Copies of this chain bind each other. A is one copy, B any other.
Amino acid sequence: MRDKEKVSAFYTEHKRMPTYEEMRMLFSVASKNTVAYRVNKMLEEGFLVKEDGKITLAQVGSVMVLGTVQAGFPTSADEDIDSELLSLDDFLVDKRGATFMLEVMGESMVEAGIFEGDLVLVERGKVPRKGDIVLALVEHEYTLKYLDNEKGRPVLVPANKKFKKIYPNPHTLKIEAVLKAVIRKYR
């Protein structure tokens, strides 16, 4: 395992950068200067960056972003694919503290590709627009529906032909949050 991977692994495990002393042990070297030497290289390569005198990873993320499914992996000849690293937290969460994860119950949004058991990320306080999928409170029940309007009145539209549109009382209707993302996790 190369230095870079060790540093990355340390960061993922401890949620912070290793100190020079810790790197000295990670790299299995005897001198702190050797660490400084290698750290400098990583700085030059752009793998690490220095901000306010503190050394940090240039890219904190956990997934490599490739192109499309059809394109697949870059011809695996060159083994180290150093495309962009992405943090899913940064990618999917705009407003920390206002973003919540809920599990989907029911089949009312199957045609929108939202199945029972899926996880949804919703953001509170976001202004809902027509066409958004929203988490609404109707008749003391929370439900996930498309938001639309007919003649100025809000309508909650399910994405399942078997379900009916809901015409809630505009005054009691409460849009709790707006859908930001759907996540389906496999084993």
Which A residues form the contact surface with B (CB < 8 A)? 5, 8-9, 12, 14-17, 51, 54, 56-57, 60-73, 86-89, 91-93, 96-97, 99-106, 110, 113-115, 118, 120-121, 124, 132-133, 135, 137, 141-144, 176-187
Contacts and interface: CB of A to CB of B under 8 A. Distances in A.
How many copies of the polypeptide does the oligomer hold?
2
A114 B177 CA distance: 24
A100 B66 contact: yes
9 contacts: A14-B56, A64-B97, A68-B102, A69-B135, A69-B143, A87-B89, A132-B186, A132-B187, A181-B184
A180 B185 contact: yes
Give the most central of A63, A64, A68, A142: most B CB within 10 Å.
A63
Given A88-B92, A93-B88, A69 B14 contact: no
Contacts of A64: 97, 99-101
Contacts of A133: 186
